[in-house]
Amino acid sequence: MKAATALTIAGTLGAAALIGVATASSAYALDPLKSVSSGHVDLTEVECELDGGDALLEVGTHIDGNSPSEHVAPGNTDGVDDIGDYAFVHTIGEAGLTYSAGAYVVSDSSIVEEGLPFVGFSYDEEGACVGAENAPSVEIDVRAASGANPGDVTVATSGSGATSTADSGRIALSPGSHQHAVWTFEGPATGGSYALSFDVYADGVLLDTITPRAFVIE
């Protein structure tokens, strides 16, 4: 693992913090205006820039669709939009959402964004750190957040691995990556609400945790 001092995260608390210092979890807030039911979402949008020989990372979420396109940094304390305010709502009957063998499955095809949240992950899409010798590897681990979910959730990409609330697998991203995924929500055909957290690791060290209000099937 590279030296911890070579990597910082900037922006989530208004100032840079050393890698390994987790930011505060976002508080849940009930705001119906922030229920995203369609459009493109990069749940973890990791932005990278080089400062001399150091890689600087900022973790946020890119939300399009029902909200204006914006980069939302989790953990803000200054009244700026917080990812913990957002629910991602999947409407039963929309194209790309199917139910089989006790689980709802959301397709990884971009056609779903017409009527569903098209949720994925990106890392350094602008390429500032692509090819940089010290650019860290980034991994995503989904966990059940709080309370009882209707069942386990699995997020499987086509080329970057999978993560599930049922095991310790992670999605692995390299600089320049942009991956969407097949989302599987185990539970009844009537749907339900899932409380999930997404741990973001850089070179194996916890960098930040993104906790939306909920993922909903209704």
The answer to whether residue 25 is domain-embedded is no
Give the pLDDT score at 199: 95
The residues facing 145 across adjacent strands are: none
Return d(Cα 23, Cα 87) in angstroms, integer.
20
Listed in sequence order, the residues at least 6 apart from 103 whose beta carbon sits closer than 8 Å to its beta carbon are: 151, 184, 185, 186, 187
The answer to whether residue 1 is domain-embedded is no
* Cβ neighbourhood burial of 125 (10 Å; 0-12, 13-18, 19+): middle
Give the pLDDT score at 161: 97
Domain count of the fold of the chain: 1
Whole-prediction pTM: 0.82
- Site of tokens 């979402």: 41
The answer to whether residue 170 is domain-embedded is yes
pLDDT in tens, 24-71: 222 333 456 688 999 999 999 999 988 887 888 989 888 885 444 566
Return d(Cα 171, Cα 169) in angstroms, integer.
7
The answer to whether residue 2 is domain-embedded is no
Q: Which range of residues forms the domain containing residue 48?
A: 7-20+31-74+84-217
Those residues of the chain that have pLDDT short of 50 are 1-30, 66-68, 75-80
The answer to whether residue 130 is domain-embedded is yes
The answer to whether residue 96 is domain-embedded is yes
Per DSSP bridges, beta strands 214-217 and 192-194 are antiparallel
Cβ 61 vs Cβ 74: under 8 Å = yes
